Amino acid sequence: MSIDLRSVFSGKTQSIPIDEKFDFSDLEVSGINPISSPISVVGSVFMRAEVVRLEATASFVYKAPCDRCCAITEKTFEIPIDHIIVNSSADEDESDFIVSENMELDLEDLIRSDIILGLPFLFLCKEDCKGLCPKCGKNLNTEECICKPEVDERWAKLSEFYD
Ligand SMILES: [Zn+2]
Ligand SMILES: [Zn+2]
């Protein structure tokens, strides 16, 4: 889906409202498709002080296993989308800018890469998830285990040396 930006670039319209839904159910993250319901993107493309800008919010439900305890976790994300858009004929030195070819903007591609960049590096069921015991595999959020913390053999030798 592409947006025709000519009217904003020429100053004919002040802003183009955006209220779109995108299907990103094909997006794959470590073997699963975490975004099964459509993403909603609400915002606008507008000209202010001679600069054309896209400002929007992408909201969606993300469902995936917790990176520590593997519990299936559902979270709603709201990722801010903020880009300055330049005409392809303009100065292209700035890599921060989105260059619109033929004054068109491919919103879906842009949103897709923003969402991938905006996702947290660690997806956790809760901030302080204790994860699984590496020895017995118990979920330490709900159970306690009697395993001692694993000590790496090499480090054990080294700590003997320092004793
Ligand atoms: Zn967890
Ligand atoms: Zn254990």
The bound ligand whose nearest atom lies closest to the alpha carbon of 138 is: 2
Check residues 139 and 2 and name the one with the higher pLDDT.
139
What tens digit of pLDDT does each residue of 57-116 get? 999 999 999 999 999 999 999 999 999 998 765 555 656 688 777 888 899 999 999 999
Those residues whose beta carbon sits under 5 angstroms from the ion ligand 2 are 133, 135-136, 145, 147
Q: Any idea which ligand is nearest the CA of 130?
A: 1
Per-residue pLDDT, 29: 84
| Rounded distance from Cα 148 to ligand 2 centre (Å) | 7
Strand bridging mode 51-65 / 72-87: antiparallel
Containing 9, the helix (H) or strand (E) segment is helix 6-9
Going from the Cα of 121 to the center of ligand 1, the distance in angstroms, rounded, reads: 14
Provide the 10 A C-beta neighbour count for residue 73. 18
Query: How many whole angstroms from 144 Cα to the centroid of ligand 1?
Result: 15
Cα(17) to centroid(ligand 2), Å: 54
Backbone angles phi, psi at 94, to 5 degrees: -80, 115
**DSSP element (H, E) containing 132:** none
CA distance 131 to 137: 9
Q: What pLDDT score does 122 carry?
A: 92
Q: What is the pTM of this model?
A: 0.79
**Contact present, 140 and 130 (Cβ < 8 Å):** yes
